[in-house]
Structure formats: C-alpha cells, structure tokens
C-alpha cells in the first residue's frame, strides 16, 4: 500500500510499506511457547521445553545477524497517513491477547507436568522474555487515542495498583510507559474509570 504526505515546503512524499503483511510475523513469537507445550504433551520429551529459550536466545539473534539492520523506515511526512490506516492498529490490538494466554498456559503447564529442574529455568527465561513483548504492545497502543485502545494499552502491562490516602485516585505502575508530561511509569486512574472498564483505562492527569 502506498502512503502520501506533504513536506513543509509543499512537496509530495510517497512511501510504500513493503513490509505491510510481514508485520503479521509478530504473531509467531508468542505462539512458540504454546507449540512447545503441545510437542511436550505429544512426546513427553522434556527437550521440547527448551524450544522457547532456543527460539528467543539463539534463533532470533542469529537471524538478526544474518538479516542485519533494517534502514527502510517511513519518512515522517507519511506517519500520519499510516496511523490513519486501521490495519496496523488491528494488528496491535490482536497481539494483546497473547501475553495473557501465555501467562495462563505457563502456570497450567507448570502445575500439571512433572518436569526436570532445567525445564523450569528454560521456560521461565524463554517464555518470560517472549512475553516481555507486552511492554512494547502497551507502549504502542498507549500512543493511540483514549477509549478501548487505552484500556488495551494497560491490560498487557498492568502489574499492581495501590489506593492513595490523599485522594480517590489509584497510582498505577505501568512498566515501560513514558509520557513527556507525566513522571516515568506513573499515571493516575479514577476509581470510577476502573469500575467502568475491566481492563483499567488510564486517564492521565496532566499537570
């Protein structure tokens, strides 16, 4: 798909996103742990539990070296047009479910399978690193307008919330979230908002 924009001088800039459908490859990493569990249950071979670790710490770095740095970035003039394309937002919204599925699946797998000690360590490191992508998801969705997308931005990165004694607000710690006018990783959330949105919409109070 071709996007157009205009420079400050009035010149027209065009950009074709050659990786448009390759962005769907981002669904592969969070599916790797589920593949690992399935293969283990089919074979009962604990070596299968090493798959997430090998994928994220061996295969991905190797591909990074072989493919090299991607310098084909869109020009700033077309960013607004790309943000207006719902395709990219849909991809980001879909990925929100994967960290939760992996989190629940890992707990269920640990609780029902008799694994060697090294399997637990490998899975914690491998699946934990893969699920670290939740920080990226929350960060990117946090740039979008408020509403359901704001709820989704919080859901994969929410860790805990503590009521303050001074007001009817809750201080929420969101790892990795940044805003130029808000202290790092902090936002104030109305309790009424929490009651309306199960995903905990963030309403940042800007000073």
Tens-level pLDDT at each residue, the chain (207 residues)? 788 888 887 888 888 888 888 888 888 999 999 999 999 999 999 999 999 999 999 999 999 999 888 877 888 888 888 888 888 888 888 888 888 899 899 999 999 999 999 999 999 999 989 988 777 777 777 766 655 555 655 555 444 333 444 443 434 444 444 444 444 444 444 334 333 333 333 343 333
Determine the pLDDT at residue 34.
95
155 located within any domain: yes
Q: Is residue 56 included in any domain, yes or no?
A: yes
Q: Say whether both 113 and 165 belong to one domain.
A: no
Q: Please state the φ and ψ torsions of residue 172, each to the nearest 5 degrees.
A: -110, 130
Query: Domain check: are 72 and 157 in the same one?
Result: no
Q: Specify the pLDDT at position 16.
A: 86
User: Would 9 be classed as within a structural domain?
Assistant: yes
Inter-residue contact 138 to 154 (CB < 8 Å) = yes
Tally of domains in the chain: 2
Verify that 41 and 123 share a domain, yes or no.
Answer: yes
pLDDT of residue 70: 80
Decide which of 79, 99, 131 is a domain's last residue: 131
Residues 81 and 179 in one domain: no
How many residues in the chain? 207
**Considering the domain boundaries, does residue 140 fall inside one?**
no
Is there a single domain that holds both residue 125 and residue 154? no
Residues 108 and 176 reside in one and the same domain: no
Residue 74 inside a domain? The answer is yes
Instruction: Give the pLDDT of residue 35.
Output: 96
Structure tokens at 12: 């027209």
Domain co-membership, 19 together with 46: yes
* Closest CA relative to residue 46, chosen from 104, 114, 108: 114
How far from the centroid of its chain's Cα atoms is residue 159's Cα? Answer: 14
Domain-embedded: residue 139: no
Range of the domain at 67: 2-131
Same structural domain for residues 57 and 12? yes
Whether 127 and 150 share a structural domain: no
Instruction: Looking at the structure, tell me whether residues 165 and 115 fall in a common domain.
Output: no
Residue 18 domain-assigned (yes or no): yes
Contact yes or no for 188/206 (Cβ under 8 A) = no
Distance (Å, rounded) from C-alpha 118 to C-alpha 39? 17
47 lies in some domain: yes
| Final residue belonging to a domain, choices 131, 154, 177 | 131
Note the pLDDT of residue 137: 76
Whether 54 and 150 share a structural domain = no
CA separation, residue 195 to residues 116, 160, 167, 199 (Å): 43, 16, 17, 10
HEC per residue, the chain: CEEEEECCCCCEEEEECCCCCHHHHHHHHHHHHHHHHHHHHHHCCHHHHHHHHHHHHHHHHHHHHHHCCCCCCCCHHHHHHHHCCHHHHHHHHHHCHHHHHHHHHHHHHHHHCCCCHHHHHHHHHHHHHHHCHHHHHHHHHHCCCCCHHHHHHHCCCCCEEEECCCCCEEEEECCCCCECCECCCEEEEEHHHHHHCCCCCCCCCCC
Do 6 and 31 fall into the same domain? Answer: yes
């Amino acid at each position: 798909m071709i996007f157009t924009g205009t420079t400050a001088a009035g010149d027209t800039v065009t950009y074709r996103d050659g990786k448009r459908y390759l962005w769907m490859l981002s669904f592969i990493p969070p599916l790797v742990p589920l593949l690992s569990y399935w293969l283990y249950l089919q074979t009962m071979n604990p070596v299968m539990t090493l798959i997430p670790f090998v994928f994220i710490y061996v295969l991905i770095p190797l591909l990074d070296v072989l493919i090299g740095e991607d310098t084909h970035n869109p020009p700033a003039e077309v960013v607004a047009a790309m943000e207006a394309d719902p395709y990219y937002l849909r991809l980001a919204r879909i990925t929100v479910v994967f960290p939760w599925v992996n989190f629940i699946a890992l707990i269920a797998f640990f609780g029902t399978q008799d694994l060697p000690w090294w399997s637990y360590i490998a899975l914690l490191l491998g699946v934990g690193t893969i699920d670290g992508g939740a920080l990226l998801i929350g960060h990117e969705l946090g740039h979008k307008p408020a509403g359901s997308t704001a709820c989704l931005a919080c859901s994969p990165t929410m860790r805990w919330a503590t009521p303050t004694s001074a007001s009817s607000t809750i201080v929420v710690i969101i790892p990795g979230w940044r805003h130029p006018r808000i202290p790092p990783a902090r936002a104030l959330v109305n309790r009424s908002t929490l009651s309306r949105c199960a995903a905990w919409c963030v309403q940042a109070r800007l000073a």
